[in-house]
Amino acid sequence: MNNFTKEVMSVGEMASGAKLTVPVYVFETENNSAPSVYIQANMHGAEVQGNAVIFQLLELLQHCNLQGNITLVPYANPVACNHKNGEYTLGRFDPITGENWNRMYHFDQSVIAPFAQQYLDASEEEIADKFQQLLITEIDQRLEHNIWGITTGQRIAYQLQRLAHQADIVLDLHTGPISSKHLYCPEYAKASAEYFDIEHTIFIQNGFDGAMDEATFCPWWSLQEAYQDLGRNFTMGKGAFKKESFTVELGSQEQIDLDVAKQDALGILSYLQSQGVIDNKQYQPQEMTRYACYLKDYKALYSPMGGMVDYLGEFGKPLAAGEPLARILRMDNYGDGEALHYVSLEQDVIPILHFASASVNQGTELYKVFCNYFEL
């Protein structure tokens, strides 16, 4: 028997006193024998496809045999969602501080070693329970007991992170500017990447740069390493350390496609089926060629000149060294110079995303590509 509820969570206040709120949908099951899940979307204002995916998940989960609790939060950042400039949504950066909305989560590395020492001889289950409590308490303290206050972005991020810390699996739904689908996956969870219906995966190490996925897996990975240094071995992704977090990139920003969103939702259910969160064996991963690279090999190519760009590199397809990624039109050179300039690389790559506009300045990020890629 599944219990479905909706709450409205206040994450801040505007100058007028109006509340900033986000909807929180929760499926609770009496079984509760499997990992719990937290899924959020639209932390960046223009990245709206995740909301459509959450809608499709809400529809599909009504008919699933749930084994674990699932929390879903669309419209996670109400400030970014409403940050418009003409017909465009901005919403990648806090307009007050200039900071990336997805770089404001919290992780304090200094708590890891003392905790491991304190609970060196505790059971694995007690360690997991106490550590989860510590992570939530840290967030509560930053929200309620910071005498200097916190920024709007931090207040939103910390309240979302508090929900995420209560889950075993975290999916943060994003999109790129003009982009193919791709997945950010912690290295220890490589096997899980094959259950998403996503052809391209970036494996990330245990390094915290402020993002939601890192804020929820780095503490546990760091704790596992601290215990290893003390002579006690736990395996990330197993037992009480069964914690997995992913950033799921769903394509391009500023648009939704409900039919594609349903396919994306089916891919997520395939992953949840593999983790035992649902017991519905019809949700299985599609057969496809999956490529991956490590984060250090996910490279940005910056425009060598200003101009108007014709993007040539096809997303998701290997591009041979020397083949053009783009051509740049320079009408100011027509008649007394070269009007067309081709941009290529000296190694094989897979184009993943490119800048949203054809008009670029010198130094604009043109493409992001996989280098040194391999098949999963």
Q: Is the dihedral of CA 83, 86, 248, 258 positive or negative?
A: positive
Quick check: helix, strand or coil at residue 237? Answer: coil
Per residue in 320-347, pLDDT (tens digit) is 999 999 999 999 999 999 999 999 999 9
Tell whether the model's pLDDT for residue 112 goes beyond 90.
yes
- The pLDDT-based confidence of 240 (bands split at 50, 70, 90) is confident
Tell whether the model's pLDDT for residue 229 goes beyond 70.
yes
Q: What is the Cα–Cα distance from 34 to 201, expressed in whole angstroms?
A: 25
Q: What is the Cα–Cα distance from 275 to 374, expressed in whole angstroms?
A: 25
Are the C-beta atoms of 244 and 217 separated by less than 8 Å?
yes
Residue 120 has what pLDDT?
96
Tell whether the model's pLDDT for residue 1 goes beyond 70.
no
- For 290, the token pair is 């999956």
Per residue in 6-45, pLDDT (tens digit) is 999 999 999 999 999 999 999 999 888 899 999 999 999 9
DSSP state of 253: S
- For 171, the token pair is 């999916």
How buried is residue 103: exposed, middle or buried, by Cβ count under 10 Å (0-12/13-18/19+)? middle
Q: What is the Cα–Cα distance from 105 to 151, expressed in whole angstroms?
A: 12
Q: What is the Cα–Cα distance from 302 to 276, expressed in whole angstroms?
A: 43
Question: Closest Cα to residue 310, out of 373, 360, 239?
Answer: 360
- For 32, the token pair is 């509760």
∠ CA 176-177-181, nearest 5°, is 35
> Cα 264 to chain center, whole Å?
14
Residue 84 has what pLDDT?
87
Residue 246 has what pLDDT?
98
Q: What percent of the chain has pLDDT over 90?
A: 93
At residue 298, φ and ψ (nearest 5 deg) are -95, 100
Are the C-beta atoms of 38 and 71 separated by less than 8 Å?
yes
How buried is residue 23: exposed, middle or buried, by Cβ count under 10 Å (0-12/13-18/19+)? middle
For 341, residues 6+ apart whose C-beta sits below 8 A from its C-beta are 304, 305, 307, 327, 328, 330
For 292, residues 6+ apart whose C-beta sits below 8 A from its C-beta are 190, 193, 200, 201, 202, 203, 370, 373, 374, 375, 376
How buried is residue 193: exposed, middle or buried, by Cβ count under 10 Å (0-12/13-18/19+)? buried
Tell whether the model's pLDDT for residue 91 goes beyond 90.
no
Indicate the average pLDDT of the chain. Answer: 96
Q: What is the Cα–Cα distance from 183 to 284, expressed in whole angstroms?
A: 18
Residue 336 has what pLDDT?
92
Residue carrying the six token digits 């017909």: 87
E-only strand ranges, 240-323: 244-252, 291-294, 298-302, 307-311
- The pLDDT-based confidence of 90 (bands split at 50, 70, 90) is confident
Residue 2 has what pLDDT?
80
> Which residues pair with residue 57 across a beta bridge?
none
Residue 118 has what pLDDT?
97
Q: Domains in the chain and their CATH numbers? A: 2-289 (3.40.630.10), 297-371 (2.40.50.100)
**What Cα–Cα distance (Å) separates residue 20 from each residue in 17, 75, 78, 84, 152?**
9, 11, 6, 16, 10
Q: What percent of the chain has pLDDT over 70?
A: 100
